Structure 1
Amino acid sequence: MKLPDVLTPDPDTGAYLLGEHAGSRWYLKQMIFTWRIVGCPITENGWPEEYAWDYPSHHVALTAITMFDPETMNEPPGYVKRKGDVRKAPRSDDHPRYNRARCLHGHYQADRDCPWPGCPTNPHTRQEQQ
Structure 2
Amino acid sequence: MPMQHHTTPIYDDHWEGTELAADDTYRYLWIWQGSNIRLIAVPKNEDSDWAYDHAWCFPRDPELVARAVADWNPDTQDEPNGWHKRPTQPARRAPRREEEPEYNRPRCVHGCYLADGCRTVNCPEAREHRAAQEGTAHGETPDSPVHSTPPVGSGLTPCCHRTPFELPRTDRMSNDPALVTCRP
| Correspondence 1:31-110 to 2 at 5 A | 31-47=33-49, 48-56=51-59, 57-85=61-89, 86-110=91-115
Who is 1:119 aligned against? 123
1:52/1:127 Cα in 2 relative to 1: closer, same or farther (>3 Å)?
A: farther
Deviating more after overlay: 20-29 vs 92-101: 20-29
Q: Distance in 2 between matches of 1:19 and 1:98?
A: 21
Q: Distance in 2 between matches of 1:71 and 1:111?
A: 24
Q: How many residues align?
A: 127
- State percent identity of aligned pairs: 29
1:74 maps to amino acid? D
1:116/1:23 Cα in 2 relative to 1: closer, same or farther (>3 Å)?
A: same
Q: Classify the secondary structure of the residue corresponding to 1:7.
A: strand
Compute the TM-score of the two structures, normalised by the length of structure 1.
Answer: 0.85
Q: 1:15 aligns with which of 17, 20, 24?
A: 17
Q: Which has the higher contact order (CA 8 A, sep 6+)?
A: 1
1:117/1:90 Cα in 2 relative to 1: closer, same or farther (>3 Å)?
A: same
Is the contact made by 1:117 and 1:125 (CA closer than 8 Å) also made in structure 2? no
Who is 1:4 aligned against? 6
Structure 2 alignment gaps of length 5 or more: 128-138, 140-168, 174-184
Q: By how many angstroms is 1:45 displaced?
A: 4.9
1:96/1:6 Cα in 2 relative to 1: closer, same or farther (>3 Å)?
A: same
Q: Distance in 1 between matches of 2:56 and 2:103?
A: 16
Q: Structure 1, residues 72-91: CA drift from partner, whole Å, max 9, x if none? A: 10000111111112000010
Compute the TM-score of the two structures, normalised by the length of structure 2.
Answer: 0.62
Is the contact made by 1:2 and 1:66 (CA closer than 8 Å) also made in structure 2? no
Is the contact made by 2:58 and 2:84 (CA closer than 8 Å) also made in structure 1? yes
Is the contact made by 2:5 and 2:70 (CA closer than 8 Å) also made in structure 1? yes
